[in-house]
Structure 1
Amino acid sequence: MGLDRRGFLKGAAALAGAGMLAGAGAGSAVAAPGRRTATVSAQNWLAAVGDATPIQRLSIPGTHDSGARHGGPWVECQNTSVAEQLASGIRYLDVRCRAIDDVFAIHHGAFYQELMFGDVLNACRDFLAAQPSETVLMRVQQEYSEVAAEEFRRIFDLYLDTKGYRPLFRLDGGLPTVGEARGRVVLLADADAMPGVRYGAPELFDIQDDYMTEPLGKFPKIEAEFRKAVAEPGKLFVNHVSTAALLPPRSNADRLNPKVKSLLEGEGADWQGLGVVPMDFPNENGLAETLIRHSIGDALA
């Protein structure tokens, strides 16, 4: 998170007066070897995708600042729990961890989100146990703490080994196929010294995240990134619909999400391989299901 973003959140904190921690449209399916054709739901939509399909050839609905549900309108980015997000088809989580006392507390800026990293991992583990065809891409970064990279890694390793979450994760450094990722959380490490896929590595990712661009200026950036993903496949595109400019995230989402949905159901109905699309409040207008249909078409019930 850049200094300008931190400054914005500090201002939001002052405005809200809160404290810190105390204790589905049509689309074309990806043509992939071994693609399955059974009808699926939002809970198990990856069951319709062949094992050999590279993750970067999918269109993956995600949430931006996935745990941010508390702190007032300038801080809140979601209104559903992690478990509810996964059940609705979300397959990318943006997890912000404050390192404190050998644990990770989930924060958005100064605001503790009444959620711990273990709660997020339990939700993922329960979901994947019930839906083993699925995977979760999880971006993990440090938020509202500034411990050294080695200390952040030490605490993460406590979750892996002392708390028993290692079997949940896929910690390889390369982007997997769908078959390689099924039943696991694919770690996208946005912190030095961490295992997993290096989030933002230029040889692997193409990212649009202009989070301080107002909606009128943001939409052309979103559209341009979609077009680039279609024209230049290969990397994992991460195309943030979310923005915090001028208005609270919910107000911006109410303006942007319907426009993005209209684009993907209209001119972009045949676009494939759009990558990860992190959103604020995606449950309000069915945008997640629209994106899923860009991976599996009419296989979605």
Structure 2
Amino acid sequence: MGACCCRISYKDVGYGPVDTSRWMSTISDDRQTSDLSLPGTHESMSLYGGCWAQCQSWSLATQYNAGVRFVDIRCRHFNNSLPIHHGVIYQHANFDDVLKTTISFLDAHPTEIIFMRIREEYLPKNNTTTFAEAVQTCVNKYPPDRLWCGDGIPRVGEARGMLVVLRNYYGSATFGLPYGDLDIEDRWVIPSLLPRDITTKWNSVRSHLEKAQQGSRSTLYLTYSSGASALACPCAVSRQLNSLLAKFFHGQARWGLVAMDFVKINVIFEIIKSNFQADS
């Protein structure tokens, strides 16, 4: 799970090779971040727990270097700390680790922007603080200019080198944006791997991507291609959905944030490429 040194060529739109670890460097500062297409991951830290719980195969650092710019972070509130969980399963990391990896990446790649959903996961236990206070305590270890603290969705130039938190929890904060303000598609229950159930999921994903393509440029859209159930494990679902996504993305478009299980570099390439084409 080491660093990924991927490169992608945009010769068809007049660009030379682009390092995916800094692919946002040539996006105009004046673009609204809501006007971009950003590759993302669902349950970004879920690397353990077997086929019914694991959702990713790349470490967080590898995801960032491969071009992922939206991550989905789930924290349990336990003993006033924030271990990373997928349901009951501890993912051998804590929120402090997530922030350290993220800020370190942004230090080394100041042209980039990371969007991060933060959600409370599983049962809280043995706490004397609220979940929001525990998150704020972790965030306070970093300079405030490393996190987006402004009003509304930032322009690219305003947020370079920053973490933009999407707060999916109750309580006050000095940073970030409310997750509920996004236009979200997350129909994650897929009853089985039968073609009719995969098709139903794909239709909801495709419809929301088309909505993002055509909708208000000031709205931040988020589409989850992930799904699971007792008869459909995440890895099996993702194989089919990622294949459909790779064929779907094309040309100049705004797709919003696209969160995937077991993210693949070919899909990341296609999402990134739409931004370059839009700027060409």
Specify the TM-score bucket, using the shorter chain as the normaliser.
Answer: 0.7 to 0.9
- Aligned ranges for residues 156-235 of structure 1 at < 5 Å? 156-161=135-140, 163-164=141-142, 166-195=144-173, 196-201=176-181, 205-213=182-190, 214-234=197-217, 235=219
Unaligned runs of 5+ in 1: 1-23, 30-36
TM-aligned CA distance change 1:126 to 1:74, over 3 Å? same
**CA separation of 1:133/1:293 partners in 2, compared to 1, >3 Å: closer, same or farther?**
same
What are the residue-to-residue correspondences of 1:18-37 with 2, within 5 Å? none
How many pairs does the alignment contain? 261
Counterpart of 1:7 in structure 2 is none
- TM, length-normalised to structure 1: 0.80
List alignment gaps of at least 5 residues for structure 2: 1-7, 191-196
Alpha-carbon distance change, 251 to 165 in structure 1, aligned in 2, over 3 angstroms? farther
Separation in 2, partners of 1:299, 1:176: 18
Per-residue CA distance 1:30-76 (angstroms, 9 max, x = gap): xxxxxxx7753211010010011001111100000100000110100
Contact 1:40 1:47 in 2 (8 A): no
**How much has 1:27 moved relative to structure 2?**
11
Among candidates 275, 288, 292, match of residue 272 of structure 2:
292
Q: Which residue of 2 aligns with 1:143?
A: 121
The aligned amino acid for 2:221 is F
Structure 1 residues 51, 299: CA separation in 2 closer, same or farther (over 3 Å shift)? closer
Q: Could you tell me which amino acid in structure 2 is paired with residue 230 of structure 1?
A: Q
Separation in structure 1 between the aligned mates of residue 198 and residue 238 of structure 2, nearest angstrom: 8
Task: Check the 8 A contact 2:10/2:17 in 1, yes or no.
Answer: no
Q: Return the alpha-carbon distance in structure 2 between the equivalents of residues 60 and 28 of structure 1.
A: 20
Equivalent residue number for residue 3 of structure 2: none
- Amino acid aligned to 2:261: D
Is the 8 Å Cα contact of residues 78 and 124 (structure 2) preserved in structure 1? Answer: no
Change (3 A) 1:173 1:103: farther
C-alpha displacement of 1:164: 3.5
Residues of 2 paired with 1:160 and 1:131: CA distance? 20
Question: In the alignment, what sits opposite 1:255?
Answer: 240
Give the TM-score taking structure 2 as reference length: 0.86
Partner of 2:193: none
What SS does the aligned partner of 1:243 have?
coil
Residue 132 of structure 2 is matched in structure 1 by 153
Instruction: State how far apart, in whole Å, the 2-side matches of 1:173 and 1:109 are.
Output: 32
Q: Which residue in 2 is equivalent to 1:10?
A: none
Structure 1 residues 192 and 28: CA distance shift in structure 2, 3 A: farther
1:253–1:297 CA distance, 2 compared to 1 (3 A):
same
Structure 1 pair 38/177, CA: closer, same or farther in 2 (3 Å)?
farther
Distance 1:299 1:172, change over 3 A: closer
CA-to-aligned-CA distance 1:194-233 (integer Å, 9 cap, x gap)? 43200022xxx21110000342211111111111112223
**How many Å apart are 1:159 and its aligned residue?**
1.0
* CA separation of 1:27 and 1:199: change in aligned 2, threshold 3 A: farther
> In the TM superposition, what whole-angstrom CA distance separates every residue of 1:87-110 from its partner, at most 9, and x where no partner exists?
000000100011112211000000
| CA distance, structure 2, for counterparts of residue 182 and residue 52 of structure 1 | 12
Which SS does the other structure have where 2:82 is aligned?
strand
